[in-house]
Amino acid sequence: MTVKEIAELAGVSIGTVDRVLHNRGRVSRGTRERIEEIIKDSGFSPNPIARRLKRNREYRFYALVPQLSQDSGYWGQARQGILEAADEITSMGVVSQILEFDRYDATSFHRATKRVLESPCDGILLPPIMPDESRAFINTIEGKIPYVFFDAHLPDTHPLVTIGQDSFRGGHLAGRLASLFAQGQRGTFAIMTAHTEDYHIKRRREGFLDFASSAGYTVVLRENVDLEKETLVNKELEDLAIQYPDLLGVFVTSASAHRLAQAAWEFRKKRPLVVIGYDLVLENHRLLLEGKIDAIISQRPEYQGRRGLLDLYRSIVLGRAVQSSVEIPLDVYIRENAPALKKFHGEERPKGKEVLRAP
């Protein structure tokens, strides 16, 4: 059904229908109700291309994403999903740009957000993994620029959509997996964490501790470990093995389980050590297939990035309602069900053009 047909059925002008559709101008209550009833019965949806042409403008979205190499390539997978979504909506007059920042450098994050604030911007997609910096930025745009969170949640903020897993349940699941792979042995598990400030990392840790408490396991925390440096991970594992002779396994709360798995390989030749981690990044995937990692919990970062940008488009360009919360399933990969390495990390992917990096 067209706007013209709605106008004819309602006995009004096209301009009156347009005012109801866009909620502007004065329309009598009875006329508005009559038009809205016709719209509801017909399932009418405004044509986004026609709306864009009428408004004679383009939309500009920004995605703020950590450097692609950080967190063992996790953000590269999220970026791929963002680029795929950007390719889908570019014909609708949407320009999507990615600004990278160093997640270990607040100044880098500030440069990226400054770039956004100084540019025309209709919507923002970001993972609030630097809580203090993210909250300060959100305070400057709240009520002015719509935004979508993915990968993590930030309490007391009001995004259009939050996309991510229930981190507490994820940590609880990691505890159950560790227990299953330990095959009923009693002893100590360790949690190894790099980003203790991140809200979702804290919730994973709390979930694991909750399971361990109910199951009667001892848990030791190793926080602020530099999981980017294998030598430091080796030292942490050596210290754990000396201090806790009954060490059963280690849960790595981020995508860097592969560094622990490499360090643990010689250790595992002497006695079992369970390794549980997050995210099917390339090195985790490879070591999972080699049996050096026991289980990986996947967050579908590519889907999260794609869904986040498309939800911005649906809400801002199409004017459609979107879910306020999208919960990502807790996918579990073990050696037996992991997809083929080449197929999962294939290089035949679309190459995005609209990518900017903050200086």
Q: Where are the domains of the chain?
A: 3-44, 55-164+301-327+339-344, 167-298
- pLDDT band (50, 70, 90) for residue 198: confident
Q: Is the pLDDT higher at 91 or at 113?
A: 113
- For the chain, give the longest Cα–Cα distance: 84
Mean pLDDT rounded to a whole number for the chain: 88
Per the CB < 8 A criterion, the answer to whether 208 and 219 are in contact is yes
pLDDT at 138 over 90: yes
User: How far, in Å, CA of 132 to CA of 104, rounded?
Assistant: 13
pLDDT at 307 over 60: yes
Helix and strand tally (H, E) in the chain? 14, 12
| pLDDT value of position 46 | 67
Query: In a 3-state reduction of DSSP, which class is residue 319?
Result: coil
pLDDT at 253 over 60: yes
| pLDDT value of position 347 | 45
* 45-53 long-range contacts, CB within 8 A, separation 24+: 45/318, 45/320, 46/21, 46/318, 46/319, 48/92, 48/317, 48/318, 49/92, 51/317, 52/92, 52/93, 52/317
Closest CA relative to residue 73, chosen from 291, 293, 252, 301: 301
Phi, psi of 100 (to 5 degrees): -90, 150
User: How far, in Å, CA of 305 to CA of 85, rounded?
Assistant: 8
| pLDDT value of position 49 | 56
Say whether 167-298 and 55-164+301-327+339-344 share the same fold. yes
pLDDT at 349 over 80: no
The H-assigned helical ranges of 150-250 are 167-181, 199-215, 230-243
| pLDDT value of position 14 | 82
CATH number for the domain formed by residue range(s) 55-164+301-327+339-344:
3.40.50.2300
- pLDDT band (50, 70, 90) for residue 29: confident
Q: Which amino acid is at 342?
A: K
pLDDT at 337 over 70: yes
Mean pLDDT of 44-70: 76
pLDDT at 54 over 70: no
Q: Is the pLDDT higher at 122 or at 50?
A: 122
User: How far, in Å, CA of 129 to CA of 154, rounded?
Assistant: 8
Architecture of domain 167-298: 3-Layer(aba) Sandwich (3.40)
Strand partners, 64: 99
Mean pLDDT of 315-322: 89
